[in-house]
Structure 1
Amino acid sequence: MYGYAGRIVKIDLSRSEVKSYDLPLEWCRSYIGGLGFNTKILWDQLPPNIDPLSPENIVVFSPGAFVGTSIPTASRCEASAKSPITGRFGTSNSGLFWGFMLKASGIDTLIISGKAEKLSYISIINGEVNVKSAEHLKGFDCWSTTDSLRRDYGDVEVASIGPAGENMVRYASIENNYYDAWGRCGLGAVLGSKNVKAIAVRGDKPVEVANVKEYEEAYSEAYSRIVSYPLFNLWRTYGTLVASDAYSSQGILPAKNFQYGTIDGWEKCLRENLHKYKKKGVSCISCPIACAHWVEVPEGKYKGLELKDLEVTWVLEFGAKLGLTDFDKIMKCTEVASKLGLDCCS
């Protein structure tokens, strides 16, 4: 099947079963991939009125249709389930390389249902799916979990939950390696309710396209339009932090939990200060923009702290909402939340 791996995998943790299905061609035409596939599956398979933290809930992961190709910005993977926050449809997406590796393992969609008897992790290596004990990872933060699985499996991409997910905190996230996440809707709590600590994936199966010449022409046009866009260099330099300036200038910061629209000292959190922390840009696979940042605290109490991002989500949620007006403290909050597997804005 051109453009797709052609395979859906469903893991029933309660029955210790792994089943594989052919991806219906009509799904590709009607629902395309990613969120479309997830929505179709939840609509068809999720019973109404279930408890989001019960074994009856399902978690679905689907990369976007172009993931696995070189089409610019095609890196996102959608995760969906019934949300324990709202009791309704919950979905979130994440970039980097996890979705690419799932598709390179020969899987377009991964469905997880039921509940494992004990804490477990899922390994998917070139399409071979195994569910194994994760008792040795109990209580580990997300970064330590990723470290441990990479020691065991090499260069795998890891989706994991931290202590927040294990304890079913309703706004727990699923972390993507160290610095990205499926953050919204409490999906980490849903994995925790299923006793799933992590999903480690690696694959080397290429995605084939039907017409190479037409594909190359479409790729060239898309790439050219992106890099020639008037705001491209601004996005590449500052990423989403450009919005910090806009929020501030318009007086719509969520300052001190939305009590105020401005906050004293916010000038230290504007994009012009990013250069003091930024060491290099960071890109998701197949993306020329590299809107994320590798940053390091240059001095002070948290000197030497390094991580990916000073993106506007963290800056507004940990900065403006909490009344913090320097990047050092915001970065420390980001590190703690990422390790624990907590979403900063659910």
Structure 2
Amino acid sequence: MEESIVKKRIFVAGHKGMVGSAIVRQLKNRADVEIVTRDRTELDLLDQKAVDTFFANENIDEVYLAAAKVGGIHANNTYPAEFIYQNLIMECNIIHSAHKHDVQHLLFLGSSCIYPKLAEQPMSESALLTGVLESTNEPYAIAKIAGIKLCESYNRQYGRDYRSVMPTNLYGENDNFHPENSHVIPALMRRFHEAKEAGDAEVVVWGTGTPMREFLYVDDMAAASVHVMELDSETYQANTQPMLSHINVGTGVDCTIREMAETMAKVVGFEGEVVFDSTKPDGTPRKLMDVSRLSDLGWRYQVDLEVGLRKTYQWFLANQDNFRK
């Protein structure tokens, strides 16, 4: 008679989002894992009582906290109150309820925007709280910093093992392709695709094209998240500090916006001209993560930009009808 496998019950909060769905893909074939998910109609993460009841009833062993309100510059500028309020409330509800119901292991997903606008490049974990944040997404960044500090505080006071990972710019399957509220890669992918379909002669990209950015394919982010979550405590603690516990996740490689846009045109098959409107703002000259800590912990990215864009575009083509609703 075969022994039955005792499965860990893992709650992936935000499982329909880009990162959460990628984490589910990473975990779904594990024989020792039972994935627990709830959509918004089943569990409102902004409702403290509902979240507490969920944890009281579900016997969760681990949590991946990938739920968040996210968006590009336009969305952050337009809805700052929603960005700070909703992210703070979700983090507080999930992290506190996890602790209250004796969940020992949790991974919080943050963002590279936690670092100061003028942080030294590449940005190391120690840059946190050393300068002024980028004003356009400061409310979101402050909420994410609060999430890191929540994890550190429960670790320090209660001996929990709550960890945090800070991804660079992400893209991939299940991204938001809204024409106004999305990030640069999905926004440009949609624009290049629609220009190709319309037979346009050119696509205009804001700025000079000279700023440097780092991009990470979302399945790599999910793999890194699982890797960090599954490190034994001794290894993790040896590579972090009690009040500097977050770990950067990225490629450690950047490119210009011009290079990214030209690669995008190639992937999409747009044969017109890519024009840069230098009257529009460029934003920060460079944003690159120092990923040496993660490298020391044994993880490195696998998917380069062109391959990742091709995978993303294939998914976009298969799902584009959903973006027009």
Query: What TM-score results when the alignment is normalised by the length of structure 1?
Result: 0.25
Query: What TM-score results when the alignment is normalised by the length of structure 2?
Result: 0.26
Q: Which has the higher strand share?
A: 1
